[in-house]
Structure 1
Amino acid sequence: MVMDNMIVAPTEDTAQRAAARARLDRLWAAGTAFLGTEFAILAGAMSWVSERNLVSAISNAGGFGVLACGAMEPDRLAEEIAATQALTSRPFGVNLITMHPRLDDLVRVCIEAGVAHVVLAGGIPPGPAIRAIKDGGAKVMAFAPALVLAKRLVRMGVDALVIEGAEAGGHVGPVSLTVLAQEVLPFIRTVPVFVAGGLGRGEAILSYLEQGAAGAQLGTRFAASEESIAHERFKAAFVRANARDAVTSVQLDERFPVIPVRGLSNAGGRRFLQHQADTIQRFLSGELTREEAQLDIEHFWAGSLRRAVVEGDVENGSVMAGQSVGMISAVQPVASIIAELVDQAVEALVRREAPAGES
C-alpha cells in the first residue's frame, strides 16, 4: 500500500526554482556559449595555484579553468597543457603574460595543443599575437581597465573582455568593479564582458549579469579550494582573514613606483615599507643611483609568492588575496563552490518573484 505521505509531487517551490534557473541560464547565455561551459564562471589565473589539478577540477565542475603560464618556458607550458587535457575533456584556457620574451612561442604551443581560449594579460596585447591566436582557430580574451581600452581591444580583434576591479587579489588597478561595470557594460555589447574583483557570492554575480555582463571571474575562492595545491597554511590564512585584511601594497615615494598588489597584511608587507624607506634613504645619501634603488625595491618580493603558496610561509611571503577572502569560511571542493554560487543566484531570483510578505 502506498501511503499518501510517500507520494512525491512537483511543488510550487520546485517550479519556482526551475524557472529561476532558466532565467539565470538566459542571463549568462552569451558567456556559456563563448566558453563552452555549463556555467559562465571563469577562474582567474593565479601563479603557482592555477595548474593542472585546479584547472581541470573547475572545468569538470562546469566552470572554466585557466592555466597560469606565468614565467614558464614553451616546453614546460606544453607539458602542463597536456597534463590538464589528461584530466579533463572539457574546455579550459591558458593565460599568457604579454611581457614574456617568448610570447610568440607560447602562442604557438597553445595553438598546436588545441587550446580553444587564450587569455592575454599584463599589458596591452600585441596585434601580431592576437592575429596568430585567431588564425590558429582559438579565441582571444584580454583585460580592460577602462572603457577607452575596452573599445580599442575590440577594434584589435579581441573576442571577449574581462573587467577587473581593485577588489581583486594580486596585481590590481585603481578602480572598483562597481565603477568599471557602470563605465564599460552599457557600452560594450559586441563581445562578451566578464566581471572580476571581490566576487564571492552568487547574488553579486547575478547583479552584474543583469547589468549586461556575460559571466564572472573568481580567483580567491578557488585558491582556497580542496583541489588547490596551495599549502594548507596558505588556505588556513584565507579562512581566518576578513575583507579588510586584504590590502594593497603601499608606495612611499612617487619617484619609486610600486605596482599595487593586493594581499593579506603580514610581517612581509610591513618589512616592505621599511625596505622602501631604507632604500630611499640610501638613494638620498648617494649610496645608490635612482635605477639601483628602483631595482632594489622591485626585487624585495622576488620569490615571495612561491614562498607563501608552496612553502606555506604566510608571514613573510606574498599572500595574494582579493577582498572576497572575508567570505571564505572553510576549504571546500571546487564543485561545492560552484554549486553554491549558482544556488545563491537562483535563490535570489526566487525571492524576487515571491509574493509580498513571503521570503
Structure 2
Amino acid sequence: MTNPTLTTLMARGSAFLGCDAAILCGAMSWVSERHLVSAISNAGAFGVIACGAMTPALLDAEIAATRALTDKPFGVNLITMHPQLFDLIEVCANHDVSHIVLAGGLPPKGSIEAIKQKGAKLLCFAPALSLAKKLVKSGVDALIVEGMEAGGHIGPVATSVLAQEILPEMAQQVPVFVAGGIGRGEAIAAYLEMGAAGVQLGTRFACATESIAHPNFKKAFFRASARDAIASVQIDPRLPVIPVRALKNAGTEAFTAKQREVAALLDSGALDMGAAQLQIEHYWAGALRRAVIDGDVEGGSLMAGQSVGMVTREEPVADIIAALMTEAAGALAKRAA
C-alpha cells in the first residue's frame, strides 16, 4: 500500500540513500552481513554492513560478497576507534561504497576528508544537538539521531526527546534519520512528519528469514519483552564504557566482571586508556559472536533494542519492509481523513 504523502515525506531520504524506502538497517555485528544487507537493499530499503572489529581483508571480502548478491546501493558502518580505520576507509573507496556510517564518537582528524575524497556520502550519529551542529559544520552529509531505546551501544537520552530537540534545528540543513525503539510504521510516520528524512531499525530485522543469526538467538528475541532489553552498568568511571542494551542473561554478569578485570589492569599500569577501550570492544565482539553465530544465548551477548517485544516470528525482509510501509501509510491516511 503506497501513499502519496508517505512517498513525499520519504523523498529526501530515499534520494539521499538511492533506494525506494528511506529505511536504514542498523549495523549489527555478525548479523548485518552479506545475506541480510543484500536482502534489505534488494527489498527497496538500505542495508549497512557492520564492519565492527573486522580486518581490512575481511571487510574487503564482505563488500565483494554483498555486491555479488545485490546491484542496489548499500553502506558500510565503521567504528571511529578501530586501529585500522584509515585502511578500512581505503577498502570502501576501492569498492566505490556509496555511503559510510561512522559510529563511536567524533570522527578522528582526517577521516571525514578521507571518506569524502572518493565521493562517498558520510552519515554520523548525533546523540546531542551540540554534537549534531559540530558534525554538520565539519562536513558530515547526514545525521542519525539514536535514542537509548536502541540495541547495542546507546546514549542516555530517549529517541522522542532527541528527535524533538534535533529535528527542528537540523532537518533543514541535512537529512536526519531517527533510530532507537522503532518497531512499527506508525512511529516511522510520526518521525517523518516531525521532519526526519527516514529512519533506522536494527532489532526488527535481526530475526528476519535472511538473517544468519542462530535459531537460539532468534528464539530468545521471540520470547523477550521490551523490559528484558536492559542497559549494561558502568563499573568504573575511568573506563570509557558506553552502555550496551542487550537481553539480560549470564553474559550481562560476565561483562561486569570483565570491566573489573580491565579496571585492575588500568590500576596496575599494564594497560593505557586506549588499550582498555579496545579490550572492552573486543569483549563485545566475542560475546556477540557466541550468541549470534554459536547460539550460546546464556554466555553470549544478546544485543537488542526495546522494540524486541514487537519481534515475534521469523519473516522475510521484504515482508517486514512492506508491513512497515503499510502501517506508516495507514497512519498518514487516518490523519488526513
What TM-score, normalized by structure 2, do the two folds share?
0.92
Once residues 67 and 302 of structure 1 are traced to their aligned partners in structure 2, the CA distance between those partners, rounded to angstroms, is 15
How far apart are 1:109 and its partner, in Å?
A: 1.2
**Secondary structure of the corresponding residue to residue 351 of structure 1:** helix
Distance in 2 between residues matched to 1:278 and 1:41, nearest whole Å: 39
Q: Shift in Å at residue 70 of structure 1?
A: 1.3
Tell me, in whole angstroms, the C-alpha distance in 2 between the residues paired with 1:301 and 1:81. Answer: 23
Q: Is the 8 A contact 2:77 2:103 kept in 1?
A: yes
Distance 1:78 1:279, change over 3 A: closer
Separation in 2, partners of 1:66, 1:349? 28
User: What amino acid is the match of 1:147?
Assistant: L
Say if 1:291 and 1:317 are closer, same or farther in 2 by CA, change over 3 A: farther
Matched, 1:177 2:168: no
Matched residue type, 1:158 = V
SS at 1:303 equivalent: helix
Q: What CA deviation, in whole Å up to 9, does each residue of 1:144-167 have, x standing for no partner?
A: 111111111111111111010000
* Matching residue's letter, 2:99: H
- Which range moves more in the overlay, 124-133 or 242-251? 124-133
Structure 1 stretch 91-100 or stretch 58-67: which is displaced more? 91-100
2:232 to 240, 249, 266: 249
SS in 2 for 1:289: helix
Read off the aligned partner of 2:43 and give its amino acid letter.
Answer: A
User: Structure 1, residues 303-338: CA drift from partner, whole Å, max 9, x if none?
Assistant: 111111111111111100000001111111100100
RMSD: 2.3
- Given that 2:147 and 2:154 are in contact with CA atoms closer than 8 Å, whether structure 1 keeps it comes out as yes
Alignment of 1:190 with 2:173, yes or no, is yes
Spell out the pairing of 1:300-319 with structure 2 (5 A cutoff). 303-319=286-302
Q: Once structures 1 and 2 are overlaid, which stretch shifts more, 68-77 or 85-94?
A: 68-77
Cα distance, 1:290–1:94 mapped onto 2, change above 3 Å = same
Q: 1:289 aligns with which of 241, 253, 267?
A: 267
How far residue 135 of structure 1 moved from its aligned partner, in angstroms, is 1.8
Report if aligned partners of 2:29, 2:285 keep a CA contact under 8 Å in 1. Answer: no
Query: Which of structure 1's runs of 4+ aligned residues deviate more than 6 A?
Result: none
Q: Which aligned pairs between 1:191-340 and structure 2 lie closer than 5 A?
A: 191-254=174-237, 258-273=241-256, 275=257, 289=267, 298=280, 303-340=286-323
Q: Is the 8 A contact 1:127 1:156 kept in 2?
A: no
Unpaired runs of 5+ residues, structure 1, are: 1-16, 355-359
TM-score norm. by structure 1 comes to 0.86
Determine if contact 2:53/2:285 at 8 Å carries over to the other structure.
no
Contact 1:252 1:276 in 2 (8 A): no
> Counterparts of 1:260 and 1:225 in 2: how far apart (Å)?
26
- Distance, in Å, in 2 between the alignment partners of 1:277 and 1:98 is 21
DSSP 3-state at the match of 1:56? helix
Does residue 1:98 correspond to 2:97, yes or no? no
Corresponding position: 1:128 with 2:106 = no
Gaps of 5+ in 2: none
- Give aligned pairs, total: 331
User: What's 1:74 paired with?
Assistant: 56
Q: Is the 8 A contact 1:249 1:258 kept in 2?
A: no
Equivalence for 2:70: 88
Please state if 1:51 is matched with 2:29. Answer: no
Structure-2 change in CA distance of 1:108 and 1:266 (3 Å): same
Provide the C-alpha distance between the structure 1 equivalents of 2:236 and 2:204, rounded to a whole number of angstroms: 33
| C-alpha contact (below 8 Å) 2:101/2:124 kept by paired residues | yes
SS at match of 1:329: coil
Amino acid at match of 1:351: K
Question: Residues 66-115 of structure 1, C-alpha deviation per residue, up to 9 Å, x if partnerless?
Answer: 01111222222111111111100101001111111221121111111111
Pair 97,257 (structure 1): closer, same or farther in 2 beyond 3 Å:
closer
Residue 4 of structure 1 aligns with which residue? Answer: none
Query: In the alignment, is the contact (CA less than 8 A) between 2:12 and 2:197 conserved in 1?
Result: yes
Q: Percent identity?
A: 62
Cα pair distance change 1:346/1:101, threshold 3 Å: same
Among 148, 167, 172, which residue is 1:166 paired with? Answer: 148
Once the two structures are TM-superposed, the CA of residue 250 in structure 1 deviates from its matched residue by 1.5
Q: Per-residue deviation at 1:38? A: 0.3
Code of the residue aligned with 1:143 in structure 2: it is F
The structure number with the bigger radius of gyration is 1
